[in-house]
Every structure is written in structure tokens, then in C-alpha cells.
């Protein structure tokens, strides 16, 4: 019997090694034939060793030499790759640059790029390119849809999962060089010595891949953990507590990156509990980290239930503090003023802090975009923000350039995104969600890359180089973000999700005594006149937080871009839009078009069966079915509900609702999160 089990295991082993479960991500390099070109390097380090190993195993071309060259320090952790007679030279001033260069070459090989006469020079646009994990210490993941956390805290530091190194390698392959291991809703426990030993074990694995570890900290840690009477940032005992905690961390992890802090936000403690400001809080931590070159990423995601428009609050809170922060503090700002909605205008805080470095926070995990059930390629969303012109320093003041130091030299520049990674075999839940991790890394390295180029690379590396596959799949990915906006929240609608979760629609939701700013009606403002949030000068005046001419453009219903019209205006149902249709008609057409697009994706995918392995084909196909059903759910829920205000028929040319409004109102998904 034992023998039989053993035999079955041996037989199944090769199958499982090559099972197409998506675990290899975009790193599907073929194994190189023996006896081919050499990989030479005079220098050695654990990082260079990995670069050599990757090339030795996977590079199929000519000899490669890896050279460290201090003169290239102007490229930071970037690199040069040049053809030189019968070899290729990768040079960089840092060994991580050589590793990134090695992955660049392998990417060229895997995407069938031209490899003759290579002459490449790459400098990353941001110094810190970092993932934020919202992973809790009990291994649940806030807004995570790919299983439990990959950090097995209970087994660390003694047992080290092979996934840790795979994770670091995957990040290195796209230039990500930092990771915040734990949720911004942080528990003080992460700073106990027990946990710090676990963090050290992870950082030792990540280090050779150039991946630095950072932690989210709870502002009350001195009180909760240190048993001090308070956590007041101006209390000398509190300052000392943080200093000695930071010292303890650096003794264990000499290259520790720093802290990420969510303070006085959604019930978390912060300096305001003691009548102090965000600057007081951030500076106190920054002073403790400064001797070790650590940084503080202080989040601007703050809002309170008040009469003030939620969209205005971060700006109001932080602009008066501009100039008061230490130089190792960066203000971390979500891309939009509300919260990672399918579409938001950019946060008006970008560019408004003139003396304080700012960094963008994106969300890769699809909290508001169908979790890991919906296929949504996020590079276009990321690019939309990065390419937005704030006009803060005149025309051309894009968020990308403000944050990368081009317009305002910053000591350190950074960009981050909330990870979508979990224990699932394919890491991200949906095979196509891997593209969003990939896209964030590539854009953090170079925000000038186009969404199309990134999709092209990812498809070729992950699935197939065959153009018959690449072209339609790329088209599907590139349109998918607009599609989800259409079937969920077109024309600037936002936050009309169900109360208990952020998955399905619940525009009618009204929970007695709940915070108004967690209620859909707060955002859509549907009534017999029309739909949308009036943020003009005569409304909440959020438009005035934008620099000219945007304040005027957004504030005027005639000039406001229609994809934001219901964000900034309360628009009458019969108001004519640019295409001559009324608001109501266009709303209907948009929802319908979203549904039809998902149906198209199903057809596109089904036609691709011959190009994809069975497992991934089947898994994507199943999720597209869910997405198609959900799109109809969204369309019916929103149109039937808004129809109770517009009192107009759904245009006869579009698909009829498949549900009754009353039935939709009964749907209650069992999900654990608040709001
Ligand atoms: C980590 C939203 C999410 C919360 C999240 C918060 C934040 O409110 O729903 O889950 O908490 O943003 O970014 O801090």
C-alpha cells in the first residue's frame, strides 16, 4: 500500500510540477540548454549570484558580462545593457541594478524582441516602489480575495515557505523594491520582539532580491505595548519608547525601510487624540527613524462624519500643515479623494502640498472592482491618475512628474499600491489579476510605459506570443476598466456599493444610525430632479480645491468631462448630453454597454481555447460567467432603482431587466467587512 502511494506520488509529481495553475506568474522562462553562452562577472554578492543564476538557467543567447560600475550611480538602481562584439554587457552601480538588468534581458527574450545591437539605459522614475499588504497577523487579508496571507506568522521564523523567495523574485523581476508586510489597520503586536524576529526572517530572504521591508505601525503602540500612560507624540517618554523600538528593529534588520502610518482615520488612534497634528505625529516617528535613514509614509486617507463633503477633507486637513513635516516624511495619498472607486477624479491634494513630498497610493486588490471575480486590467486606471495634469505648477504638472521629483526635487520619491496577493496557487485569485501586480511594478519603474505595452509584455510572458492570441486578449484587457465603470458606476457615479461589502450594488441602501458618508445616497443624491453630487461652488465647493483652470472646467456643467459629470454635478434627468441623449438615456446605454462588453469578453475568451492550457482556460472562463451575471445584476439594480426617480422608461433598444427590483433588494451577501 505504501509502495502504491509512493508510486502514485512519483507519477503525479511531474504533472504537478508543470500544472498550469498560474503559480509561475509571468516568470515562465524556459530552461536553457546546457553548454551554451557563458555568464561572466568579476564581482560577487548574493544579488549578483541570483542574476547569474537566472541568466545561466534561462538565457539562450550570447555571452553576458555583469559589471559593477560606480560611474553609473546617476542611474540609481537602474542599469545599462549594451551589445559589445560577441557579448552583451549589463552594467550598473548597484548589484540590484544588475539583477534588474538580467530580468530586462529575459523579458526581451520572452517577448520575442529584437536582441541585436542592444543599447538600453534605464533609470527608475521612483526611488521607492513598494507594495502595501493589508495582511493581518491572524493571516486574514483586509480586502484580500486570493486566500489567506502568504506570511505564515505562526510558523515564522523557524519554518520558511519557499513562496517567500518566489515572492521576492517576482517583485524583483518588475523592479519592486519595498514591501509593507502588515495591514495599515495595524495592531501593536507587530512591534513585539517575537514578531520582529519573524519580520527579520522574511527580510533576510528578501534582501538579495533588493526588496526592503517596512511595517505599518499603530500609533498607540507606546501605550498598548509599552504600557505608557499615553502615546502623545510630544511626551518625552513616548519619543524615547519609539527611539528604542526603532533601535531594536535596526539591530535586527539593518536595512529596514521605515513605517507606514494610518492615524486618526476610520477609528484608528493618532496624534489628534492628544490635540496634536498629523505633523507632530509624523515628525516624532521621523526623528526616531532618521539616524538609520528610515522614512515615514504618512497616509492622507482621513475623513470624519461631519457636514463637510468627504471628498474635501484630506485636503483641508493636510494643506495647512504643508512645510511642517520632516524631510524623511512622505504623504501617501490615494489616487482619488474618496476611496479607490472604479473612476474618480484625482485627489486635489496632489500638487497642493508645495513643501512636502507626496506619493500616490493605488489599490491593486479589487476592493471596488469585482474582487477576484472580475477581469479588470488596471494599468489604464493607474495611468489616468499619473497622467492627470494638476496645473499646480502650470500646464504639464502631472501627478507622475510631481511625485517623481521632476517638477519638485524631493529627497526621496515613492509610489505604492495595495497588493492583491494571497495564498492561492495563482497568487492573485484571478489569473488576469496578476497583470495588475505586474503593471504596477512596471509603471512604478517607468510611468511613461503605455498600458498597451505592459499588457503586451504580460500576455506574451504569461500566456502566449502568438499574435492571434495576443491581439484580441490585449484589446479585451485594455477596454476592461472602462467596461467595469460602465456596468458599475458610469458618468462619475461612485460608492453605491452594498453596505456590508464592496462587491454588489445597493444604491437604495439606508442603514438607520449608520454614518451618512458610508451610505450610497450620500454619493448619488438621486431625486425627482436628477442624479449626482453637486460639488460646484454653489454645492459642496470641492471644485475649488483644484487648481485653475480645472476648478472652472469641473465646476461648469458645460465643460465638465462627462465621465465625471455626476461626481461634480447634480444633473437633471432630461439634461442633454454631448451626444444629444438625455442623462437618463445615457445612463441606460452605459450600463447596457458594460453588460454587452462582458459578453464580448466571454466570446473572445472562448475562441482562445486552443492557445491556453485547460486549467487556466477553464478558470478564466468560469470567472467571466460570474462577471457577466454580476454585470446584469449591477445594471438592473441601478437602472430599476434610479428609474423610481427618473420615472422614465428604459430605452426600448436595450436589453430588458432580468430581475425585479424588490428581489434585488433582498440579496444580502455574507461578507465580513464594514461599510
Ligand atoms: C485598510 C477603505 C477600506 C478599508 C481600508 C481603508 C484604508 O475604507 O474599505 O478596508 O482599511 O480604506 O485604506 O485605510
Q: Which atom of ligand 1 is nearest to the CA of 367?
A: 9
- What's the 475 CA to ligand 1 centre distance in angstroms? 31
pLDDT at 365 over 60: yes
pLDDT for the residue 99: 98
CB 442 within 8 A of CB 449: yes
What length does the chain have? 675
pTM for the model: 0.96
CA–CA distance, 18 with 567 (Å, rounded to integer): 48
- What's the 262 CA to ligand 1 centre distance in angstroms? 10
| Cell output for 656 | 430588458
pLDDT at 36 over 90: no
CA–CA distance, 583 with 566 (Å, rounded to integer): 10
CA–CA distance, 24 with 462 (Å, rounded to integer): 8
Looking at the chain, the whole-number percentage of residues with pLDDT higher than 90 is 92
pLDDT at 170 over 60: yes
**Mean pLDDT over the full length of the chain:** 95
Bond prior to 584 in cis (omega within 30° of 0): no
| Cell output for 644 | 423610481
Q: What is the mean pLDDT of residues 517-528?
A: 96
CB 149 within 8 A of CB 133: yes
Give Cβ neighbours of residue 337 (< 8 Å, ≥ 6 apart).
310, 311, 312, 314, 315, 344, 345, 347, 348, 349, 542
Q: Write the pLDDT tens digit of every residue in 442-451.
A: 999 999 999 9
Q: Which of 358, 367, 424, 630 is catalytic?
A: 367
- What's the 265 CA to ligand 1 centre distance in angstroms? 9
Q: What is the mean pLDDT of residues 383-398?
A: 98
Q: What is the mean pLDDT of residues 50-66?
A: 95
| Cβ 416 under 6 angstroms from ligand 1 | no
pLDDT at 329 over 70: yes
- What's the 122 CA to ligand 1 centre distance in angstroms? 35
Cα torsion 42, 45, 48, 52 to 10°: value is 70
What DSSP line would sit under 100-159, residue for residue? HHHHHHHHHHHTT---SS-EEEE--S-SEEEEE--B-TTS-BTT--SSS-S--TTTTTT-
Looking at the chain, the whole-number percentage of residues with pLDDT higher than 70 is 96
3-class DSSP assignment, residue 414? strand
CA–CA distance, 336 with 318 (Å, rounded to integer): 15
* 79-84 sheet: strands from edge to edge: 39-41, 63-68, 87-92, 79-84, 119-122
37-46, 155-164, 377-386, 656-665: segment of lowest average pLDDT: 37-46
16-25, 325-334, 507-516, 538-547: segment of lowest average pLDDT: 16-25
Closest by CA position to 532, among listed 508, 556, 559, 565: 565
Q: What is the mean pLDDT of residues 145-166?
A: 98
pLDDT for the residue 304: 87
pLDDT band at 1 (very low <50, low <70, confident <90, very high): very low
pLDDT at 11 over 80: no
Q: Write the pLDDT tens digit of every residue in 618-673.
A: 999 999 999 999 999 999 999 999 999 999 999 999 999 999 999 999 998 866 54
pLDDT at 387 over 90: yes
| Cell output for 136 | 493581518
* Alpha carbon separation from 69 to 65, 143, 632, 639 (Å, rounded): 12, 43, 58, 62
| Cell output for 675 | 461599510
The pair phi, psi for residue 594, each rounded to 5°, is -60, -45
pLDDT for the residue 672: 53
Report the phi/psi class of residue 84: left, alpha or beta, with left for phi > 0 and alpha for psi in -120 to 50. beta
- What's the 338 CA to ligand 1 centre distance in angstroms? 11
Q: Write the pLDDT tens digit of every residue in 452-466.
A: 999 999 999 999 999
pLDDT at 479 over 90: yes
Q: Is 339 a catalytic residue?
A: yes
| Cell output for 648 | 422614465
3-class DSSP assignment, residue 96? helix
Give Cβ neighbours of residue 84 (< 8 Å, ≥ 6 apart).
65
* Alpha carbon separation from 386 to 391, 485, 495, 623 (Å, rounded): 13, 19, 22, 30
Q: What is the mean pLDDT of residues 112-119?
A: 92
| Cβ 517 under 6 angstroms from ligand 1 | no
Q: Which of 127, 135, 339, 482 is catalytic?
A: 339
Per the listing, cell 503602540 goes with 221
Give Cβ neighbours of residue 302 (< 8 Å, ≥ 6 apart).
263, 264, 265, 278, 313, 314, 317
CB 353 within 8 A of CB 319: yes
CB 94 within 8 A of CB 101: no
pLDDT for the residue 668: 86
pLDDT at 91 over 60: yes
Query: Which residue(s) pair with 296 in the sheet?
Result: 259, 329
Q: Write the pLDDT tens digit of every residue in 133-154.
A: 999 999 999 999 999 999 999 9
CB 286 within 8 A of CB 321: no
pLDDT band at 617 (very low <50, low <70, confident <90, very high): very high
| CA dihedral over 257, 262, 264, 267, signed as positive or negative | negative
pLDDT at 7 over 50: no
CA–CA distance, 577 with 264 (Å, rounded to integer): 41
| Cβ 515 under 6 angstroms from ligand 1 | no
CB 361 within 8 A of CB 417: yes
Q: Which atom of ligand 1 is nearest to the CA of 265?
A: 14
pLDDT for the residue 674: 44
603 vs 11, higher pLDDT: 603
> 10 Å Cβ neighbour count for 7?
10
| Cβ 21 under 6 angstroms from ligand 1 | no
Per the listing, cell 560577487 goes with 44
Q: Which atom of ligand 1 is nearest to the CA of 674?
A: 9
Label the pairing between strands 258-261 and 212-217.
Answer: parallel
Closest by CA position to 634, among listed 471, 460, 439, 502: 502
273-277, 325-329, 408-412, 523-527: segment of lowest average pLDDT: 408-412
- What's the 378 CA to ligand 1 centre distance in angstroms? 19
| Cβ 140 under 6 angstroms from ligand 1 | no
pLDDT for the residue 501: 85
Pocket test for ligand 1, best of 134, 266, 502 (most atoms within 8 A of CB): 266
pLDDT band at 34 (very low <50, low <70, confident <90, very high): low
Give the residue, by CA position, lying nearest to ligand 1 atom 11: 185
Q: What is the mean pLDDT of residues 169-191?
A: 98
CA–CA distance, 247 with 376 (Å, rounded to integer): 43
Q: Write the pLDDT tens digit of every residue in 215-269.
A: 999 999 999 999 999 999 999 999 999 999 999 999 999 999 999 999 999 999 9
CA–CA distance, 647 with 275 (Å, rounded to integer): 50
pLDDT for the residue 35: 56
Amino acid at each position: 500500500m505504501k509502495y502504491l502511494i509512493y508510486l502514485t506520488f512519483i507519477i503525479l509529481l511531474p504533472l504537478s510540477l508543470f500544472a498550469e495553475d498560474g503559480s509561475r506568474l509571468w516568470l515562465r522562462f524556459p530552461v536553457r540548454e546546457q553548454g551554451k553562452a557563458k555568464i561572466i562577472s568579476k564581482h560577487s554578492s548574493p544579488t549578483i549570484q541570483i542574476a547569474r543564476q537566472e541568466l545561466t538557467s534561462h538565457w539562450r543567447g550570447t555571452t553576458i558580462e555583469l559589471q559593477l560600475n560606480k560611474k553609473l550611480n546617476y542611474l540609481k538602481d537602474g542599469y545599462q545593457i549594451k551589445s559589445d562584439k560577441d557579448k552583451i554587457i549589463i552594467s550598473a552601480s548597484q548589484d540590484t541594478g544588475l539583477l534588474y538588468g538580467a530580468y530586462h534581458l529575459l523579458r526581451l527574450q520572452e517577448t520575442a524582441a529584437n536582441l541585436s545591437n542592444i543599447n538600453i539605459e534605464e533609470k527608475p522614475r521612483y526611488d521607492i516602489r513598494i507594495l502595501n499588504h493589508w495582511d493581518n497577523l491572524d493571516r486574514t487579508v483586509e480586502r484580500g480575495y486570493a486566500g489567506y496571507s502568504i506570511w505564515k506568522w505562526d510558523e515564522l521564523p523557524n519554518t520558511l515557505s519557499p513562496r517567500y523567495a518566489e515572492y521576492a523574485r517576482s517583485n524583483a523581476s518588475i523592479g519592486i523594491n519595498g514591501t509593507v508586510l502588515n495591514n495599515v489597520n495595524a495592531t501593536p503586536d507587530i512591534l513585539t520582539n517575537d514578531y520582529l524576529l519573524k519580520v527579520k526572517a522574511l527580510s533576510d530572504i528578501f534582501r538579495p532580491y533588493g526588496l526592503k521591508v517596512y511595517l505599518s505601525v499603530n500609533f498607540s503602540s507606546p501605550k498598548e505595548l509599552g504600557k505608557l500612560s499615553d502615546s502623545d507624540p510630544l511626551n518625552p517618554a513616548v519619543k524615547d519608547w519609539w527611539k528604542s523600538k526603532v533601535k531594536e528593529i535596526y539591530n535586527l534588520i539593518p536595512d529596514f525601510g521605515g513605517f507606514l502610518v494610518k492615524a486618526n482615520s476610520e477609528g484608528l488612534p493618532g496624534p489628534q487624540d492628544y490635540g496634536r497634528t498629523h505633523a507632530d505625529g509624523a515628525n516624532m516617528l521621523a526623528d526616531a527613524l532618521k539616524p538609520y535613514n528610515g522614512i515615514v509614509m504618512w497616509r492622507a486617507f482621513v475623513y470624519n462624519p461631519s457636514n463637510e463633503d468627504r471628498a474635501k477633507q484630506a485636503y483641508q486637513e493636510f494643506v495647512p500643515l504643508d512645510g511642517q513635516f520632516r524631510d524623511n516624511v512622505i504623504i501617501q495619498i490615494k489616487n482619488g479623494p474618496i476611496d479607490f472607486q472604479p473612476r474618480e477624479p484625482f485627489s486635489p491634494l496632489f500638487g497642493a502640498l508645495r513643501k512636502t513630498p507626496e506619493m500616490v497610493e493605488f489599490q491593486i486588490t479589487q476592493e471596488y472592482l469585482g474582487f477576484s471575480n472580475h477581469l479588470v486590467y488596471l494599468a489604464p486606471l493607474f495611468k489616468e491618475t499619473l497622467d492627470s495634469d494638476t496645473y499646480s505648477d502650470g500646464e504639464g504638472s502631472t501627478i507622475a512628474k510631481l511625485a517623481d521629483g521632476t517638477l519638485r526635487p524631493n529627497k526621496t520619491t515613492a509610489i505604492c499600491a495595495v497588493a492583491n496577493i494571497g495564498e492561492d496557487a495563482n497568487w492573485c485569485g484571478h489569473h488576469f489579476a496578476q497583470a495588475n501586480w505586474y503593471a504596477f511594478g512596471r509603471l512604478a519603474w517607468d510611468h511613461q510605459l503605455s498600458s498597451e505595452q505592459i499588457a503586451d509584455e504580460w500576455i506574451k510572458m504569461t500566456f502566449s506570443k502568438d499574435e492571434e492570441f495576443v491581439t484580441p486578449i490585449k484589446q479585451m484587457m485594455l477596454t476592461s476598466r472602462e467596461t467595469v465603470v460602465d456596468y458599475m458606476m458610469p458618468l462619475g457615479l461612485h460608492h453605491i456599493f452594498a453596505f456590508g461589502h464592496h462587491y454588489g450594488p445597493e444604491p437604495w441602501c439606508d442603514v438607520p444610525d449608520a454614518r451618512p458618508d458610508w451610505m450610497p445616497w450620500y454619493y448619488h443624491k438621486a431625486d425627482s430632479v436628477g442624479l449626482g453630487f453637486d460639488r460646484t461652488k454653489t454645492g459642496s465647493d470641492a471644485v475649488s480645491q483644484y487648481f485653475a483652470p480645472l476648478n472652472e472646467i469641473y465646476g461648469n456643467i458645460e465643460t465638465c468631462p462627462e465621465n465625471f459629470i455626476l461626481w461634480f454635478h447634480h444633473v437633471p434627468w432630461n439634461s442633454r448630453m454631448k451626444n444629444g441623449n438625455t442623462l437618463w438615456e445615457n445612463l441606460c446605454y452605459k450600463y447596457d454597454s458594460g453588460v454587452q462588453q462582458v459578453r464580448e469578453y466571454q466570446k473572445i475568451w472562448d475562441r482562445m481555447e486552443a492557445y491556453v492550457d485547460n486549467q487556466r482556460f477553464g478558470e478564466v472562463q468560469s470567472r467571466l460567467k460570474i462577471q457577466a451575471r454580476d454585470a446584469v445584476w449591477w445594471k438592473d439594480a441601478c437602472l430599476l432603482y434610479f428609474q423610481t426617480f427618473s420615472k422614465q422608461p428604459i430605452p426600448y433598444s436595450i436589453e430588458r431587466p432580468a430581475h425585479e427590483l424588490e428581489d434585488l433588494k433582498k440579496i444580502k451577501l455574507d461578507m465580513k467587512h464594514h461599510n
